[in-house]
Structure 1
């Protein structure tokens, strides 16, 4: 090989490596905003942790309407983002159509399964984590009534509610579980006023522990519980700090880790389905200085035992999304 050929080969390799280095991950944040103090914010926190630890950069878009879903995905792929992380089950059908048009782009969807060769799907065992906080709610309740406020009435949110009811009834067959959903459109994720109204209505019916799985709407639920001197349970992010003294716990869903891991993998992302559960702390019960005085030793012990029994298969928590039914709750 001549000196010139060696030079050209080295230059080509350098150009290729530079091109590869330019590939940045992308994050498409679902409706409700990245500071919803719940699902979206957890994802944003994971992305920021990746930036702080690696010094990398990423592309980000927040959806403002349903109509933006397809255009946003295509634009992100055409800008060269890789992988493109898409948040929320509502993006699944769009990604099914978009992913095949960009075979060289890796996509990751959180909270849904999309069966395409360039898509990694990440789902969580929300029913199992909700079972544990349901047990805590029943043990903490003095009235014998606990409640649940969901966001958009979809199978995923019923999965939370169903697990919660099963956990509560595992503690006491006589426990009453009230369940309400905020709405049937995506607006249900960002309506804290309606969330507060639902929580106050449930409290007026005797509920003294309210579990919110409603995105930004949940902020209103937690505030109402604090105002009415009831206990509340947060979701997705650790929300214990929002109202210390009335936050019994939070059912943490590690969306932050899912985003961080996807960004870290970069173009080495593996397609297929990943299920994050209790065993790898994909879902967990939040304990910290903000709720330690509310959680008794008995609660902690029973939750720890149940966690182990679920992991071993001794306790089977029914997943609403498997057959659209719930043995412990009527919707």
Structure 2
């Protein structure tokens, strides 16, 4: 039977690590006192579309790997996806990491679901993790998040920040996972100010069309929404979101980042004055927590839920300009309380 649990606060804060950390590799260590097998290497992650350098989802996973490497002193690996790859390619990648002795092996993104289901059964002594999907398996931890809750807070912030009463949402790919971001955001906006209009758009129907990996598509979508009057745009689009942020900064309107605190990303420093906030998703914390459980000899399995109660999701407050917007902080704080105490039920679709 699949176990369902809420992870503890040990996961919190990993997403704030510097994402410019040194590349993985390091020196192999037995870590004999840690509880993990001395034959195991450390954690390995296989990136989702967009790869490392997206300043968002994948980079958050790398931050968790870096924290685990620094703490446990073992060898790690991170592997990039290839353009147009198949499930068989993903299966081969995961199997290769398991054969080399990495434990745990984590697929970053729902696209690894079919491959992980096939590979995990062949390597029962390896713990596998998958982000943003549920895969059944005795040795699989499914690391899922309440993205709708963070997005609700982003919607509250957008409704308080808008002057035009029109805000935007750009989703990378039209899939159920990204629908959670849209649903939470739109509900947060409407619950805060019913007069605010939300203009929503998806970049592509499938990931293979580049919805998560095409900044040019994100930029064009944001420009279109700005022409319609949107002065706050929330993006849940991976690497494509960088184009949304660029377009917002050029037009001097607000962008809302996603997954990582994009206000603090070095690659986006030129646009930071126009990044109002970011809907946080502690992917790094999930990677670290699963790795620690393996090192402790008590590997997590089943569905592990990261929500607002355990700070698995949240809203960043790095931009000091947030404090200058009347009522924004108070509204966000009230929404957080409502979500955590159950008085606010956030939509997922």
TM-score by length of 2: 0.84
Q: State the alpha-carbon separation in 1 of the partners of residues 136 and 225 from structure 2.
A: 40
Q: Does 1:293 align with 2:316?
A: no
Q: How far 1:50 moved relative to its partner? A: 1.7
For residues 211-239 of structure 1, the C-alpha deviation after alignment (integer angstroms, 9 at most, x for no partner) is 01100000010010000111000000100
For residues 160-219 of structure 1, the C-alpha deviation after alignment (integer angstroms, 9 at most, x for no partner) is 011000000001112110111111232211100110000000000010000011000000
Give 3-state SS (helix, strand or coil) of 1:316's partner: coil
Q: State the alpha-carbon separation in 2 of the partners of residues 158 and 177 from structure 1.
A: 14
Alignment-derived partner of residue 313 in structure 1: 342
Alignment-derived partner of residue 218 in structure 1: 241
TM-score by length of 1: 0.88
Of residues 196, 218, 231 in structure 2, which corresponds to 1:208?
Answer: 231
Cα RMSD (Å): 1.8
Alignment-derived partner of residue 141 in structure 2: 120
Q: State the alpha-carbon separation in 2 of the partners of residues 172 and 270 from structure 1.
A: 41
Alignment-derived partner of residue 327 in structure 1: none
Q: State the alpha-carbon separation in 1 of the partners of residues 300 and 288 from structure 2.
A: 14
Q: How far 1:122 moved relative to its partner? A: 0.8
Q: How far 1:297 moved relative to its partner? A: 5.6
Q: How far 1:52 moved relative to its partner? A: 2.0
Alignment-derived partner of residue 57 in structure 1: 75
Alignment-derived partner of residue 276 in structure 2: 248
Q: State the alpha-carbon separation in 2 of the partners of residues 201 and 238 from structure 1.
A: 25
Give 3-state SS (helix, strand or coil) of 1:206's partner: coil
8 Å CA contact 2:160, 2:326 repeated in 1: no
Give 3-state SS (helix, strand or coil) of 2:167's partner: strand
Q: Does 1:129 align with 2:150?
A: yes
Give 3-state SS (helix, strand or coil) of 2:157's partner: helix
User: Which protein, 1 or 2, shows the higher relative CO under an 8 Å CA cutoff with sep ≥ 6?
Assistant: 2
Give 3-state SS (helix, strand or coil) of 2:257's partner: strand
Q: Which has the larger radius of gyration?
A: 1
Of residues 255, 260, 264 in structure 1, which corresponds to 2:292?
Answer: 264
Give 3-state SS (helix, strand or coil) of 2:322's partner: coil
Of residues 170, 173, 196 in structure 1, which corresponds to 2:191?
Answer: 170
Deviates more, 1:134-143 or 1:68-77: 68-77
Q: State the alpha-carbon separation in 2 of the partners of residues 124 and 37 from structure 1.
A: 19
Alignment-derived partner of residue 229 in structure 1: 252
Alignment-derived partner of residue 44 in structure 1: 62
> How many residues were matched structurally?
304
Alignment-derived partner of residue 80 in structure 1: 101
Of residues 84, 97, 102 in structure 1, which corresponds to 2:118?
Answer: 97
8 Å CA contact 1:112, 1:121 repeated in 2: yes
